[in-house]
Amino acid sequence: MKRMNDSTQVVVGIVVSTVLFTAPAVAEVTFEWATVWNVSNAADPLNSAIVPGIGSVGYEFRIAKYNVTNDQYAEFLNAVAKTDTNSLFNGQMTASPHGGITQSGSSGSFAYAVKSNMGNKPVIYVSFFDAMRFVNWLHNGQPTGLQDASTTEVGVYAISDGLSETRAGDAQFFIPTESEWYKAAYYQPSAQGGDSDGYWLYATASNSAPTVATASATGDISNPGANVANYDNGADWNGQDGTLTTVGSAGGSSESFYGTSDQCGNVFDWNETVLSPTTRGLRGGSYNAPATIVRSTFRNQLMPTTEGNIFGFRVASPVPPEIVPATSQWGLAVLVLLILTTGTMMQGKKIFGRQHP
């Protein structure tokens, strides 16, 4: 039976926390998740000769439905880049019409804001180092402070040379591997409506090249529907002949089997896999790429320091334990209150009984 995709945007246990004790403020950056199951699926036979085992994953995981956006990355910058020791901000985010974030102030008091109509567009001009530090920050609870071991430098990845870092076993967030990313994008079992070999050529659940997206004056895809993607410079707005579009605006009919958006075009996504002694992988193509680049057969790799106007990333996470399945937040809060109330009443009975034998 096909499962519902997990699209909740709350941190597990937040309701319990607010009932039981005074919790810190809710973190600003949240995600809509797509759960990727079909454990130990077969690899894609089309590309396995070049990439052995590609697409086969032996565990469930979650991947963000959308790329990390300018809104989300600006929250990160405002938390840890008042003094931007590790250059998490790239000046082209402001200077380029494709970029979406501005910086003001001076070192020690830098502040970041999102350009008009750019908050829900993918962040670009981010390196693999930037992606690792963002994930570390998420894993560490989205703290505020200098870029150090408590915020960005340790957590999921112990930042080093960009190539030797490996994922911590207790990672609560991470950058997907090439196979994790690939499975989320292209896999659909034939028995569940997929292609005969279990893989689509495009991350829109299709073997046919998608319809090229067009854009509204604010950067939403203006021709949403089945098998639509932002590539081949079709999304003209903001004075550009092809540029970024709002994440997810092609609509649900253009999502992958697992419910992800924009794994076909818009921006290349960094992945965790080391592909050579000097490179990490990227997948998915971009807003200015032709059809041959946005399909499953194209594999990109670059030095982890690379930043550009077509490179972004998305995050992934383990599937959280379902402690109370199908229980609403209000239902869970009521349940906790009932338990606390019952405990208090029972304790009162014991005290009363001792005072009045």
CA distance 332 to 335: 5
| CB-based burial, 149-164: b 16+ in 10 Å, e otherwise | ebbbbebbbebeebee
pLDDT exceeds cutoff 70 at 335: no
Could you give the number of structural domains in the chain? 1
As beta bridge partners, residue 223 has none
Tens digits of residue pLDDT in 292-329: 999 999 999 999 999 999 999 999 999 998 743 444 44
The DSSP H or E segment spanning 33 is: strand 33-36
Share of the chain above pLDDT 90, in %: 82
Residue 12 lies in a domain: no
Is 40 among the domain residues? yes
Split at pLDDT 50, 70, 90, the class of 337 is low
Segment among 9-18, 181-190, 238-247 with least mean pLDDT: 9-18
- Evaluate whether residue 244 is within a structural domain: yes
Give the global pTM. 0.84
Does the residue 356 lie in any domain?
no
- Is residue 16 domain-resident? no
Across 38-52, 58-72, 251-265, 338-352, least confident range = 338-352
Q: Is the residue at 6 inside a domain?
A: no
pLDDT grade for 17, boundaries at 50, 70 and 90: very low
Tell me if 123 is assigned to some domain.
yes
What is the per-residue pLDDT for 336? Answer: 52
Joined tokens for residue 299? 């594999």
Quick check: 249 and 227 in contact, CB under 8 A?
no
Region at 105 (left for phi over 0; alpha for psi -120 to 50; beta for the rest): left
Mean pLDDT for the stretch of residues 259-264: 98
Element (H, E) at 272: strand 268-276
Beta bridge partners of 154: none
Q: What is the pLDDT of residues 35-63, one digit of tens each?
A: 999 999 999 999 999 999 999 999 999 99
- In the numeric block, which tokens belong to residue 230? 């932002």
- Residue 208: CB atoms within 10 Å: 11
Q: Does residue 58 belong to any structural domain of this protein? A: yes
Rounded CA Rg of the chain: 22
The CATH number of the domain where 213 resides is what?
3.90.1580
How confident is residue 24, by pLDDT bands cut at 50, 70 and 90?
Answer: very low
pLDDT, mean of residues 278-287: 98
* Amino acid at residue number 257: F
For residue 59, what are the domain limits? Answer: 35-319
